[in-house]
Structure 1
């Protein structure tokens, strides 16, 4: 009963101005009835006692007439469009957008065998189970001991994450010890750049006393949530190498973290209940943080479309359907564009001819569909945006038309593309001018610098001897196109990341080593160790 009263208290309309249509629904039957009232029209002309005898045909007036159906349609449609609601709905795909940074403790105590096979190996198994629960959610991976290092940035590639998780070993850390506060600060700095609040998961066998306050302060910022999954037993156990023992879990320290509001859980060896617990905290943190701007009210007006459809069936009675079909035909005739003039060129007539797709897609949308299919000639005819039209012409090898289209774009990327189109036409001098203009607007841009250097080299080349045939020893021109084209053009950061990724892939192919050794070398270089 309390839930019912709570729903009634929250009942409101999302678009209340549509309720003004209810006035028309009430007025319409009254206006039609008033217009058809014979007595009202003749009351001032014929005496009342004679009017009763003269009026015929009103003995069996219908209580429900077509106008009442129209009024009901207007009323139901107004309520449906007004959007009645009384509860909120969870935003779709919100959990998939919630970023999670997993920070794994690689201190020497994580090699303890009190948890089979070791604490670290069990942590890896929990990460694998967590990635399966996230189902493509963006996850980052960090390793920390006395220093903190990013293994992988946020990614939805679970296989790549699992590969590097399996490669983690305690021996790869360049600085021994444990600095949890530094790890939390480092990860939080990276997550602060994300538009959606994130969660830091610490997979560790303990938190040093000095780091508890720092974690509490970070957790209290309400931007990044810190979750701790403690791995180990209260008794502790020997290290795998047999050269020492690891202490047990600090129960008092874990309780202190819980009391300060930090979610803390211990390892469950017989199930993945701890993994599900972590995922629930990741989702709930995003939902609570974004409750005011991401959660929306559930629109309950759509069920009214069922009675609206049933009432609309009455329009197909004899005498009604003909009027609606005629009205639809007139509307389509008036909405269709005029036929192309006979004097137009065939290409122009084809470009401006009306098609059925024009009813549903804009010209740019039609061009994008053709572009994605590889029909660049058709895409160039459909596009109205000059940048997209120029790219379509360029992909189709029509460099003259591409240059004409790019010339209409007064942006850096448009001028760069114009230079490429001119270079393809062997207009090296004009292309060089465009590249210089681009470098004035975007100094140091590598694609423009490379193309300008190539144009300078082509202009400095001695002209071949005059002949009817071109000398065959002249190599073909090589224009360095921006690999991120077609538009929308990416930012400088995207281009730099693409080059870094390409160099990293070349480096990975050039070396023969395991991911573990690669991470060890990377961490050592980051700490300035040879």
Structure 2
């Protein structure tokens, strides 16, 4: 945001330098408030900071809800690959595994529990917590759709479990791994040995049968087939799971009876050394993001009402001209007859009968060519009647006759309005500049001058584009003589043919070396 602010400020400075005369620039910017631009930035900056802090959700603990527990940390790693959909264990291997782990969680008492799901990749489903109800909820959500990449990366699952423990402790840590062990990665045993040396005990549960069973695709209900069209049979790999448990100083169990496996695991975990743990997972917190959002919203609303300049006004004749006429028309110095004729012209002008108003003012001007009020209002009546050239002549006479700067400035201003609407921008700009030199605080003249300068710039750009188009029409393409001889062309053709032949040979080699066996997706 600071960079955006600096860029915008620099762009404003460059725009100012392009306008031209320093005196004119000073007059044009008299209405601009630089402080407002800085205020708008500060308000937006604070509002964005409040939104970011609201996203961070600052909070404070409400009371001391720390819970002292005596237990160990248990990470559960559950295989959710599609091979776990085999039905040699009814209803499926995965359903029975989740049922077993649910009963085990009920028996873990004060132990903290975490969950890792794995297939072709491993993910931390839930970090270590004493909230057993949450653990069962996350466990029930585990499915083969949780991980799109298929396979059985037991090694990655073990590493994820190890990363979830407190690495400073050399005991009080256990991993329960339940899988069919099929197609496991080679690094699993070495990872288990390393974890065992760090005090982590690994228990494995083999679920499935050695004879194996087909895998039912949940989407189609059909049996999964390999690349050759043969039905895939998923078998339990007990040897690997036993090796992992042995390397991790734990024990392997074959899934037979759910209650037996649960009781054995609970007994083995209870026999491990336990230590006091302060669990903060049940601590209640009070959030403060609502306050920050309210502050941000309030600041954004305030920013909308901070204006850098006054509202621009459209080019129009000064209404002061007519009121000026009324004021002078009633003075005692004016001849009674001229006074009456000017009043008639004013009434016609007020009724938008500009032709009759112009006729009344002309009568006065013929009798008294130095009558400033008649000359001034005659220009306005001519302009409203569509007689722009006559209006400009009337304003010029008014300028020559005026003695007060305000009167002369108003005439210059109205002359500029007429010229601007007649697309005579260069003359219009000079008229506005003359008005500003006489009355520098004239906001209408300043704004109309700025608009005229922008229109002039657009007009010049459009003229340049039209000139370019005309120049292109007049250009005639010149034929370029060929610099390539017939012999060079023949050699170039042979080189291209050789390149195409080399490319075809390369593609044939790639196709010949491509493996025919796709990776497993179960």
Which category describes the TM-score, using the shorter chain as reference length?
0.3 to 0.5
| Structure-2-length-normalised TM-score | 0.36
Q: Which has the larger radius of gyration?
A: 2
Q: Which has the higher contact order (CA 8 A, sep 6+)?
A: 2
| Structure-1-length-normalised TM-score | 0.35
